[in-house]
């Protein structure tokens, strides 16, 4: 079974003497390939080893190149890369927000490997390599900034060698999904239960899991399928921002017309709907 | 001028002997009110002082009650709160993702105040207080987890007294906006430049600033208005995920029909559009 996230018992910073040892730990199972993953479930780990000249390593931010199309001996790009296998798996991780374990090959005399923690695929794109072939690239950012990692090499990065000139920004919205939410989204094949919109992009569809009765204090809504809706980002923003709510018969009230799309494999709790409706009514009256 | 974010020279953890001293530092300017902010620009700081029995303090997560409707002497709720002034300002901070400085009143013999860092309004809602009146509540989460703060009191929180049972989740999407993006969104009055959708919620409209040529390595797009589009969340997800791109004449190519809505006060760079289009074409071919 493919494990996303931390591997129990393996701390960030753990070193391995070989790819075989790294594979045995469960951190990165393939012995040869840099990307571990599947097209349907996403990528769970990568190794950045300096084998590709186009990788860029800024410590907490990595620009990683996709796989394929290069000569195994010279490492030169001799053909286009394709959006399949590991390359597609990293796009799936991007779409679903799955954490990717990053291991660095260290430039010591006898090459060793160090597990450097979890990263998120922040963006992906395609470009033309110096040799004129199409390659895929992925920008990954470290999830937990407390665990500062350094690029391949024995010494920590000097201050100032991190990604330069990062623009000052506010976080306006963070979308978090749980394993149960992912299941609900699959049942609805990522189609919005409110407006029926399907956000289809290269690599796959996108939707968000919206907890009807919010998680966390003081609402303490449960992380169960009957408390989750599969929504497009727009309807999610409207639903969590009290622009509309839902009657027990599924019809919308407030600034939205229509009726909730329901699926026989996914029962939506009327108690949780009523909780949302009460909050909504108090906000607007 | 209202400053959002850190105040230069005042470290997280700084203590103040009085509200007057706290005000003079710039951390929280009003002497009496718990919320500092304006209805048009948002709230820049709050003081959590235990004056309201309904506040809940879990350290890095706070459930904060809105202002108004309480008897100044008994502190009891005697009337409904309204979505105006500080209460509306906190909703604006929620919509725009503005950082809110949090100061805690410490329960010592002579009350002192401690600046405890930046929080984001993660959610807001209305409920009925124990006395039967409508109150507004805001869930705030600390932005920088490195700066661990403790609730009001002399002692740090014991392990385990933080917000209990936090559900394990993935981050699927983080929306960051810059000051320039906020300006662009205002010019378009938060209407999507692609689909013309206006995401209107109680407290104000919502849009996202999308950099056409991405910020950060290796794209190094500039944080300037001519490189930013005002988009609804759905179109943002589609645009950054290579579902469509834009021709120089503003018409869309790929899975989107129509033409970019442009405003005379906001010129969109054709160079940056061409950069996005090249990436798009490489992804889909």
Shortest Cα distance, chain A CAs vs residue B231, angstroms: 11
Report whether A83 contacts A35 (CB < 8 A).
Answer: no
Architecture of the CATH domain B15-142: Roll (2.30)
Closest residue in A to B279 (Cα–Cα)? A126
Chain B residues touching A241 at Cβ < 8 A = 95, 201-203, 206
- Structure confidence by residue, pLDDT tens digits, B262-283: 999 999 999 999 999 999 999 9
Question: Two tokens at A181?
Answer: 């939410």
**Three-state DSSP class for residue B101:** strand
Shortest Cα distance, chain A CAs vs residue B76, angstroms: 20
Which is it for strands A100-106 and A42-48: parallel, antiparallel or unpaired? parallel
Please, where are the H alpha helices in chain A?
19-25, 85-96, 179-187, 233-240, 270-284
Closest residue in B to A282 (Cα–Cα)? B126
Q: How many CA atoms lie within 13 A of A224 on its CB side?
A: 9
Name the band, by pLDDT with cuts 50, 70 and 90, for residue B155: very low
With CB atoms and an 8 Å threshold, state whether B96 touches A170: yes
DSSP track, B118-165: EEEEEEEEEEE-TTS-EEEEEEEEES-TTS----SSSSPPPTT-SSTT
pLDDT of residue A55: 86
Shortest Cα distance, chain B CAs vs residue A32, angstroms: 26
Residues 6+ apart with CB under 8 A from B204: B91, B92, B95, B190
Residues 6+ apart with CB under 8 A from B21: B113
Question: What is the predicted ipTM?
Answer: 0.89
- Backbone phi, then psi, for A84, in 5-degree steps? -135, 175
Nearest by CB: B217 against A145, A163, A240 = A163
Between helices B233-240 and A233-240, what is the axis angle to 10°? 150
Q: What does DSSP assign to residue B226?
A: G
Whether chain B has a CB inside 8 Å of the CB on A241: the answer is: yes
d(C-alpha B133, C-alpha B114), whole Å:
31
Only one residue has tokens 């509540």, namely: B137
**Three-state DSSP class for residue A39:** coil
Chain B residues touching A214 at Cβ < 8 A = 123, 139
Is a pLDDT exceeding 80 seen at residue B163?
A: no
Whether chain A has a CB inside 8 Å of the CB on B3: the answer is: no
Considering only residues 134 to 153 of chain B, which have any Cβ-Cβ distance to chain A shorter than 8 Å?
134, 137, 139, 143, 145-146
Whether chain A has a CB inside 8 Å of the CB on B162: the answer is: no
- Structure confidence by residue, pLDDT tens digits, A184-232: 999 999 999 999 999 999 999 999 999 999 998 899 999 999 999 999 9
Domain boundaries, chain B: 15-142, 179-284
pLDDT of residue A263: 98
Stated pTM of the model: 0.89
- Structure confidence by residue, pLDDT tens digits, A69-128: 988 888 788 999 999 999 999 999 999 999 999 999 987 778 899 999 999 999 999 999
Is a pLDDT exceeding 90 seen at residue B75?
A: no
Which is it for strands A244-246 and B61-65: parallel, antiparallel or unpaired? unpaired
Whether chain A has a CB inside 8 Å of the CB on B63: the answer is: yes
Is a pLDDT exceeding 60 seen at residue B164?
A: no
Shortest Cα distance, chain A CAs vs residue B155, angstroms: 22
Q: Please give the residue that has the higher pLDDT: either A252 or A172.
A: A252
Q: What number is the average pLDDT over the span B113-121? A: 96
d(C-alpha B174, C-alpha B188), whole Å:
22
Closest residue in B to A134 (Cα–Cα)? B282
**Three-state DSSP class for residue A115:** strand
Only one residue has tokens 């665990």, namely: A147
Chain B residues touching A120 at Cβ < 8 A = 171
Question: Two tokens at A124?
Answer: 């992906």
């Amino acid at each position: 079974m493919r494990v996303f996230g931390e591997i129990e018992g393996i701390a960030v910073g753990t070193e391995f003497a070989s790819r075989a040892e790294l594979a045995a730990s469960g951190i990165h199972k393939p012995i040869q390939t840099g990307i571990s993953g599947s097209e349907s479930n996403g990528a769970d780990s990568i190794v950045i080893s300096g084998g590709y000249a186009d990788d860029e390593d800024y410590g907490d931010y990595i620009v990683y190149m996709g796989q394929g199309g290069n000569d195994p001996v010279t490492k030169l790009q001799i053909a286009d890369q394709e959006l399949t296998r590991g390359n597609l798996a990293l796009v799936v991780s991007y779409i679903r927000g799955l954490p990717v374990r990053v291991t660095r090959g260290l430039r010591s005399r006898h090459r060793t490997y160090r597990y450097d923690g979890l990263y998120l695929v922040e963006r992906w794109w395609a470009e033309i390599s110096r040799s004129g072939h199409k390659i895929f690239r992925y920008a990954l950012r470290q999830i937990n900034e407390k665990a500062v990692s350094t690029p391949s090499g024995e010494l920590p990065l000097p201050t100032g060698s991190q990604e330069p000139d990062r623009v000052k920004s506010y976080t306006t919205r963070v979308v978090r999904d749980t394993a149960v939410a992912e299941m609900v989204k699959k049942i609805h094949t990522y189609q919005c239960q409110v407006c029926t919109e399907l956000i289809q992009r290269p690599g796959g569809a996108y939707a968000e899991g919206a907890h009807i009765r919010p998680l966390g204090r003081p609402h303490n809504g449960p992380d169960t399928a009957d408390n989750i809706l599969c929504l497009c980002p727009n309807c999610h923003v409207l639903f969590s921002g009290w622009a509309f709510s839902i009657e027990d018969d599924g019809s919308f009230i407030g600034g939205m017309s229509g009726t909730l799309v329901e699926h026989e494999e996914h029962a939506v709790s009327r108690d949780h709907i009523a909780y949302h409706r009460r909050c909504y009514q108090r906000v607007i009256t």
